[in-house]
Amino acid sequence: MKVAIVGHNEARAVELVERLGFQVVQDAPEFVVSFGGDGTFMKAEHAYPGIPKIVLKDSAVCKVCSVLPNEEVLKKVKAGSYDIRTLIKLEGSANGKTITGMNDITVHNGDPRHAIRYNLWADERQLGGVVIGDGIVVATPFGSTAYYRSITDSSFETGIGLAFNNSTEQFDHVVLDDAKAIRLQVVRGPAVVYADNQQEFFQLGEGDTVTIKKSADVARWVIVK
């Protein structure tokens, strides 16, 4: 089996997978080995979107890792004893730019000293009036246990979650059907839009609108039996 590797301790991962008979490649892998923790899993998906991810633990925090030792996980994959779980992703688009995330897409105030003002819609239905706050977090079910949960103290299993970040008015979080699109228009900015833990982001100014919706692409997560 051909695998690519994403992680800080790449040499350790290469030694492990090659010892168990996997071939390490950079192009056209059959699987991607995410060697780290939860954040590495997201980085691996960003680097190799859509290719099944084998998540191995090399971090103190890895909620998505198997309880089995890394070597046992790889042996099960080699033997074909696994399922592939499909995870929805989100995309955010504005001004000809698009970013994609498997956890969440965040719109945040660009200047931490000042709140942003914005209008918000779910499809054509406006959610309240002008909102003042630090922005919003739109999460997938997979990502609802991350930033979204820290704001709402909740998680969900289906749909798309919308959380309000430090808004001056009391707004409850909302879980929407994943067919809906969320639109945010900046009334007063600046704001930034980013996905997961990616370095890429783009800025929004007054009057700019970002649309956040379910992506046509999916992430694939290898679950050993």
Q: Report whether 122 contacts 176 (CB < 8 A).
A: yes
Mean local confidence (pLDDT), 84-97: 98
Question: Hey, what domains does the chain have and what are their CATH numbers?
Answer: 2-80 (3.40.50.10330), 88-217 (2.60.200.30)
Six token digits for residue 27: 């192009």
Per-residue b or e along 168-200, where b marks 16 or more CB atoms closer than 10 Å to that residue's CB: eeebebbbbeeebebbbbbebbebbbbbbeeee
Q: For residue 168, what is the DSSP state?
A: S
Q: Report whether 184 contacts 164 (CB < 8 A).
A: no
pTM more than 0.85: yes
What percent of the chain clears pLDDT 90, i.e. is strictly above it?
95
Predicted local distance difference test score (pLDDT) of residue 171:
85
Express each pLDDT in 100-129 by its tens digit.
999 999 999 999 999 999 999 999 999 989
Distances (CA, A) of 173 to 38, 127, 130, 170, 193: 24, 11, 16, 10, 19
Express each pLDDT in 205-223 by its tens digit.
999 999 999 999 999 999 9
Predicted local distance difference test score (pLDDT) of residue 143:
97
Q: Report whether 190 contacts 111 (CB < 8 A).
A: yes
Instruction: Please determine, for residue 60, whether its predicted confidence score (pLDDT) is greater than 90.
Output: no
